[in-house]
Chain A
Amino acid sequence: MAMVITVAIAVATELAIVGAGPAGMAAAEVAAGHGVEVTLVDEQAVPGGQFLRQPPPQFGVSDWLGDPVYREGRRLLERVSADRRLEWIMRSSVAGIFSNGDDDGDEPFTLVLNPVGEGDSGEGGAPRQLSARRVLIASGCFDLPVAFPGWTLPGVMAAGGIQAFVKSQQLVPGKRFLFAGSHPLQLVVADQIVQAGGSVAGVLFAQSSSRALALLKHPSVLLGNADKLSQTAGILWRLRRAGVPVRFRQTVLSANGTDSLESVTTVPVGPDGAIDSDAAEEIECDRLGVCFAFSTSSELARQAGVDCRWDASRGGWIAKHDDNMASSVPGVFVAGETTGVAGSDIAALEGQVAAIGCAAELGKIDARQAVELARLPRRQLSRRARFARLLSELAWPGASLFDQLMSDSATLCKCEGLTVGMLRTQLGRHPDIRTASAAKLLSRAGMGLCQGRYCHFALTRLMARQLGVPEERVGGFTSRFPAKPVSIGRLIGDDS
């Protein structure tokens, strides 16, 4: 890859793009095409994001992501990787975005960078700060952590985590897999496991078969998404051939084992959404892939002051934006899953629209050109957005399922060792506590190293249910600097 920045302590750019997944890469390509000086920042060593997770070069993988669904993404990745106009700061996350105020007109934003891993600090290490005239946050999403008894046991993984192993390492990380959830991604991952030679005990969908497979019956919605249709059909056919049962109205009640996962207790989900604990079954397996939904990585956007709203089925707190993907903070744009989980093709289109908006604000193109240029991606976006919305609604099992899985013995916050029961007791003692931030202050939930990424959904749900109010009223944890823990020595430039 060209132009990887590794030496300077502080560097400046016109457009800083946080996240080199489909949204960030598409934005970079378009912005650079209009003469914008672009710097991409990403935690990974190589671009692609979660969707196009690349194997390390030394693995020499020949048929990496051979499936046609990845074709467009791979082409984009190849183009931006070879694009000498782009600058890259890899293996670095962004700990915070600071506005320099009106008096620092040239580069109104400072991004504090947080190099990933050890041994790359100090002289010759990655830069510590990046100043920018515009910022695009395309920080993606992660698998929604779902709290049920045993979910923190080694062997219980997010389906996305299992997929990351298979995609990047070409490894099957377990002997016998079970998948439980409600999102079609679990079919994709089960299929990848089977293709890589692994054994899958089953794929459990919490919803009915008609609901889970309704996608296939909506040709009007699928118009323009025939690639997705053919992919789903192919996967189902391959799983059937491999003898993998795909069951509906079934879900996980608990994960069992002493030191690591040995079995999973499953239960039927009734037509009213109630789980039937009396009809529990036990399935032996050493890996459970959990795949209900995704949670936006909105911490950085919220830390920067971007207004968000709650939409559970689209990822929790999602960044609000206008038609140009501009957020509520002037100069900060958002694209991709940060604005609501909708998949890689929508992310890429949003990235293009955001890049056009940035180019216009930076004076590289005029307003009329911007409208003209954005017309096509906007049209494609509105068509695909319908499909994405339908997908997220069909994939969403309903909040009441999570409420039922969250029994008192389930861990709520693993960093602070807090169970659901402990939090319920504390909230019972303090009936006046009515917001997530107040509950955090009371219980320490969300104060650990993960910064609340793993417990905020469960805590928000628990409180919303207990108080009988919508999640929006409970509010999120206030997102603070740094978005992820950062070494103090490195931050102040004194690693001695």
Chain B
Amino acid sequence: MKDIDVAIVGGGLIGCASAYYLAKAGARVVLLERGQINQGASGQNAGSLHFQLEHRLIQNIEQDARELAFYVGLAKIAIEQWRGIDDELGFDTQLSMGGGLMVAETPEQIELLERKSRIEQSQGLAVELLDREEARRKAPYVSECVRAALYCASEGHCNPRLLTPAYACKAAELGASIVTGAPVNAIRRDRDGWRVTFRNDARSDETIRSSAILNASGTNAPAVAAMANLHLPLFPVALTMNVTEKAAPRVPHLVQHVGRKLSLKQADDGNLLIGGGWAAVLRQRAGRWSDSRSPDLKLASVLGNLRVAADIVPLVKSLRLLRTWTGTTAITADQLPVLGEIAEAPGYFAAAGGSGFTYGPTYARLISEQMLTGKTSYPIEPFSPVRFGVLNAFVG
């Protein structure tokens, strides 16, 4: 008899949402978080819901067309799930799905928009190509240099400060045990499950026995995989975000750029959030990446990001920059998430990487389904860690 059914490692969006879906189905769940709930990428990202293929994904649009088509399919079920999320959680997460525009400034960029829209439309994602006048009519706040835009009515944003804690609360209500300040330091195979050892509040080691493990530790996922002698090829990337002072409501959409790094939106509180994948610098300690502190800010990234924002939405120039921050997220080499069971380690599941805010609730729901029933309501095979199986064939 195991102490519990599932030990979740990581208190970010995927971990907390999975704790909720699993507990709701009656599973006995313990979530172990080394720091604080929502302290990593889940709380540090800028809260975009981008269902169009984003800038980072379309750099090699021809080669990646097949994978991308599959990814777009996921967007449709994610949109569905987001629409019901406040009702499900019984909480106002400041969800806004007022539409999103991906803008283009040059003929090449317009062509890219067209190509990408064909992939999206082939998968049934509703997107609409707007010319300059249509774009300006829909979004009078954009500048003259916007020559076209791809509009997706379901896009928007949600408040990353609120979503993950809301899931954590709801999971706890349903009986999941959420333990913070509890770094896991060993994961061992047991006869028919796993033994997970963590440092508890009293600073001594505690071990729980679980039937299954869910590694939802984001940037720390490779280390948590290594504890079970497994490889999980995720790579930390450091990003920069900016927020302005509050302004009167002017920007009801999520604004992205097809050829330059930009995501821009106005939060319920009036602040404009500006990001889009501008680099920060991961810290090093003794010659290795270290996540003990947030990444170093690069001045060039701040200035570059604000330059793009000001070019596309000129009202930005009249506002004050209130704060910048950096965060670390984890991506795979093929840019797709890792979602599924590691074949070489039955009962060891992983869910991480790739647009984890937009798709976090969906990843959590799908991985929970798989853990509970062995099946999922949307196929996740292309995201399975089996695609890296060769790495784990030699460790065991």
Contact A449 B299, CB 8 Å, known A432-B168, A489-B318: no
Whether A342 is near chain B, meaning CB under 8 Å from some CB there, is no
Contact A485 B165, CB 8 Å, known A110-B299, A441-B43: no
Cβ-defined contact, B39 with A488, below 8 A = no
Cβ-defined contact, B180 with A434, below 8 A = yes
Choice from B36, B168, B310, B323 contacting A494 with Cβ under 8 Å: B310
Choice from B180, B298, B318 contacting A432 with Cβ under 8 Å: B180
Choice from B36, B302, B318, B320 contacting A433 with Cβ under 8 Å: B36
Contact with B along A407-449 (1 / 0, CB 8 A): 0000000000000000000000110111101100110100111
Q: Which residue of A lies closest to B38 (CB)?
A: A441
Residues in A whose Cβ lies below 8 Å from that of B37: 430, 432-433, 438
A392 to B37, CA, bound (A): 37
Q: Which stretch from A51-59, A60-68, A475-483 is at the chain B interface? A: A475-483
Whether B158 is near chain A, meaning CB under 8 Å from some CB there, is no
Residues in A whose Cβ lies below 8 Å from that of B317: 488-489, 492, 494-496
Contact with A along B344-363 (1 / 0, CB 8 A): 00000000000000000000
Whether A112 is near chain B, meaning CB under 8 Å from some CB there, is yes
Residues in A whose Cβ lies below 8 Å from that of B43: 441
Cβ-defined contact, B299 with A480, below 8 A = no
Residues in B whose Cβ lies below 8 Å from that of A491: 302-303, 306, 321
Cβ-defined contact, A478 with B294, below 8 A = yes
Choice from A433, A447, A489 contacting B323 with Cβ under 8 Å: A447
Cβ-defined contact, A451 with B297, below 8 A = no
Q: Which of A453-486 contact B (CB under 8 A)?
A: 478, 480-482, 485-486
Q: Which residue of A lies closest to B43 (CB)?
A: A441
A263 to B269, CA, bound (A): 34
The smallest C-beta distance from B70 to any residue of chain A, in angstroms, reads: 33
Residues in B whose Cβ lies below 8 Å from that of A96: 297, 299
Whether A99 is near chain B, meaning CB under 8 Å from some CB there, is yes
Cβ-defined contact, B310 with A489, below 8 A = yes
The smallest C-beta distance from A318 to any residue of chain B, in angstroms, reads: 19
The smallest C-beta distance from B328 to any residue of chain A, in angstroms, reads: 14
A429 to B36, CA, bound (A): 14
Residues in A whose Cβ lies below 8 Å from that of B320: 449, 485-488
Whether B181 is near chain A, meaning CB under 8 Å from some CB there, is yes
Whether B316 is near chain A, meaning CB under 8 Å from some CB there, is yes
Q: Which residue of B lies closest to A487 (CB)?
A: B320
Contact with B along A292-325 (1 / 0, CB 8 A): 0000000000000100000000000000000000
List 23 A-B pairs, Cβ < 8 Å: A98-B299, A429-B169, A430-B165, A432-B168, A434-B36, A434-B181, A441-B43, A442-B165, A449-B245, A478-B294, A478-B325, A480-B297, A480-B323, A480-B325, A481-B323, A481-B324, A482-B323, A485-B320, A487-B319, A487-B320, A488-B306, A489-B317, A494-B317
Residues in A whose Cβ lies below 8 Å from that of B319: 487-488
A434 to B322, CA, bound (A): 25
A442 to B310, CA, bound (A): 29
Contact with A along B1-30 (1 / 0, CB 8 A): 000000000010000000000000000000
Choice from B38, B294, B307, B318 contacting A438 with Cβ under 8 Å: B38
Contact with A along B217-257 (1 / 0, CB 8 A): 00000000000000000000000000011000000000000
**A-B pairs with the 4 shortest C-beta distances?**
A489-B317, A485-B320, A438-B36, A432-B180
| Interface bin, chain A | 35 or more
Residues in A whose Cβ lies below 8 Å from that of B178: 432
A98 to B326, CA, bound (A): 14
Main secondary structure of the interface of B (DSSP, over half): mixed
A105 to B296, CA, bound (A): 18
| Count of B interface residues, CB-CB < 8 Å | 40
Whether B132 is near chain A, meaning CB under 8 Å from some CB there, is no
Further 15 A-B residue pairs, CB within 8 A, beyond A98-B299, A435-B35, A491-B303? A432-B33, A432-B168, A432-B180, A433-B37, A434-B180, A437-B36, A438-B38, A441-B161, A451-B323, A485-B320, A488-B316, A488-B318, A489-B317, A491-B302, A491-B306
Cβ-defined contact, A481 with B169, below 8 A = no
Cβ-defined contact, A98 with B297, below 8 A = yes
Which B residues have a C-beta under 8 Å from some C-beta of A? 11, 33, 35-39, 43, 161, 165, 168-169, 178-181, 244-245, 269, 294, 296-299, 302-303, 306-307, 309-310, 316-325
Residues in B whose Cβ lies below 8 Å from that of A110: 299
In this complex, which of A99, A429, A432 has the most chain B Cβ atoms within 10 angstroms of its Cβ?
A432
Q: Which residue of A lies closest to B293 (CB)?
A: A305
Residues in B whose Cβ lies below 8 Å from that of A448: 322
In this complex, which of B180, B244, B318 has the most chain A Cβ atoms within 10 angstroms of its Cβ?
B180
A98 to B324, CA, bound (A): 13
Cβ-defined contact, A444 with B306, below 8 A = no
A429 to B162, CA, bound (A): 13
Q: Which of A72-100 contact B (CB under 8 A)?
A: 96, 98-99
Contact A488 B244, CB 8 Å, known A110-B299, A434-B181, A435-B36: yes
The smallest C-beta distance from B54 to any residue of chain A, in angstroms, reads: 24
A451 to B323, CA, bound (A): 8
Q: Which residue of A lies closest to B178 (CB)?
A: A432
A438 to B165, CA, bound (A): 10
A435 to B318, CA, bound (A): 34
The smallest C-beta distance from B145 to any residue of chain A, in angstroms, reads: 14
The smallest C-beta distance from A299 to any residue of chain B, in angstroms, reads: 11
The smallest C-beta distance from B327 to any residue of chain A, in angstroms, reads: 11
Contact with B along A154-198 (1 / 0, CB 8 A): 000000000000000000000000000000000000000000000
The smallest C-beta distance from A432 to any residue of chain B, in angstroms, reads: 4
The smallest C-beta distance from A422 to any residue of chain B, in angstroms, reads: 15
Cβ-defined contact, A481 with B180, below 8 A = no
The smallest C-beta distance from A408 to any residue of chain B, in angstroms, reads: 22
Residues in A whose Cβ lies below 8 Å from that of B310: 488-489, 492, 494
A442 to B165, CA, bound (A): 8
In this complex, which of A99, A434, A441, A494 has the most chain B Cβ atoms within 10 angstroms of its Cβ?
A441
Cβ-defined contact, A485 with B161, below 8 A = no
A8 to B310, CA, bound (A): 24
In this complex, which of B168, B306, B320 has the most chain A Cβ atoms within 10 angstroms of its Cβ?
B320
